[in-house]
Structure 1
Amino acid sequence: MEFSELLKPEAVKVLNSASSKKRLMQDISDLSAQVYDLNADVVLDAMLAREALGPTGVGHGIALPHARLSDLDSVLGVFVLLDKPIDFGSVDRQPVDIAFALFAPEDAGVDHLKALALVSRTLRDASVCAKLRANRNPATLYTILTSAEAEQAA
């Protein structure tokens, strides 16, 4: 699995409007509707239901919200960089400024886990996160994510 399979360049955005966890999830839902033609309300409800099971803020300013959706054929991603960090209820209690949302078919099984592992492994790299945080251009952010994967494989 590769970032280019998970993430369209148009699904990368810098947000300055997210003031809360719920607002961020709404923005991610809206972006997924625009880019992948998903139902924003269904996406939001699925993310909130998953979040109710336990926070997806994994620490170091990173959140990996995810949900399973019945009408998907493959795993899809949305990447958001926040201008201003927000409280996300993360395990380390640090505010979040990087969010990578994953949406998987209900029966995705191993593909969902592979995608989550790829995103997690990439965003655990402090140098990748530093590059992401230093840029505000969505095209550059997409390039950083897709080239980070290539560097890790080398």
Structure 2
Amino acid sequence: MNTTFMMKPQSVRIVRADSKGGILQQLSKTFAESFNLDPVQVLEHLEERESLGSTGFGRGVAIPHARMPGLHRPLGAMLKLERPVDFEAADGLPVDLVFGLLSPAQSGAIHLHALAEISRLARDERVHDALSDAPDAEALFGLLTNVTDRDAA
């Protein structure tokens, strides 16, 4: 996968969450288990960024992100929710697709490029529909891998 951020098959999951806080906890757990990080530290950084304003992107998508010390490159995770959850998005719609991004603390432009890449992915109607229809995490990862490889070509 040729992206500005690293993803692994285990960093893509279908989960149940009942609140925005629950989503951030699931995302922190996914990052921690996939990239050997401290889940408490991940959650603290995601919540700190979220306190500045919702990362609810719109159209049922949220992009929680944060910069963290100790990372060497941007890391990505993706959650598909079993059912939509309110995330205080600007358009007022609940989210069911959550793209997470963690970047090194001092990664200004790299972090912004990774966010832009995720944003383009989330805005693509065909990709959005395919992710929404994916039956399992393996299919989600396959779709993400194919899209990012296609866009890099």
Same fold (TM over 0.5): yes
Residue identity in the other structure for 1:13: R
1:153 CA drift (Å): 4.6
Q: Are 2:75 and 1:76 aligned?
A: yes
Distance in 1 separating the partners of 2:12 and 2:42: 17
Give the gaps of 5 or more residues in structure 1: none
Give the equivalent residue in structure 1 for 2:8. 8
State the TM-score, normalized to the length of structure 2: 0.94
Number of equivalent positions = 153
Corresponding residue of 2:128: 129
| Residue identity opposite 1:10 in structure 2 | Q
Contact 1:14–1:136 under 8 Å retained in 2:
no
Q: Is the 8 A contact 1:4 1:146 kept in 2?
A: no
What CA distance in whole angstroms lies between the structure 2 residues aligned with 1:4 and 1:138? Answer: 21
Could you tell me how far apart the structure 2 residues matched to 1:5 and 1:49 are? 21
Shift of 1:47: 0.5
Counterpart-to-counterpart distance in 1, 2:85 and 2:71: 29
CA distance in 1, matches of 2:3, 2:132: 18
Q: Distance in 1 between matches of 2:23 and 2:88?
A: 13
Matches within 5 A, 1:1-154: 2-3=2-3, 5-15=5-15, 17-153=16-152
Task: Judge conservation of contact 2:60–2:95 (CA < 8 Å) in 1.
Answer: yes
In 2, Cα distance between equivalents of 1:26 and 1:5? 21
Gaps of at least 5 residues in structure 2 are none
CA contact (8 A) 1:58 1:64 kept: yes
- Name the SS for the 2:42 alignment partner: helix
Contact 2:4/2:110, CA 8 A, preserved across alignment: no
- Offset of residue 46 of structure 1: 0.6
Report the Cα distance in structure 1 between the residues aligned to 2:148 and 2:76, rounded to whole angstroms: 15
CA contact (8 A) 1:3 1:146 kept: no
Distance change in 2, residues 1:118/1:4 (3 Å): closer
Q: Are the counterparts in 1 of residues 11 and 78 from structure 2 also a CA contact under 8 Å?
A: yes
Q: Give RMSD over aligned pairs.
A: 1.5
One-letter amino acid of the counterpart of residue 18, structure 2: S
Q: Distance in 2 between matches of 1:4 and 1:34?
A: 21
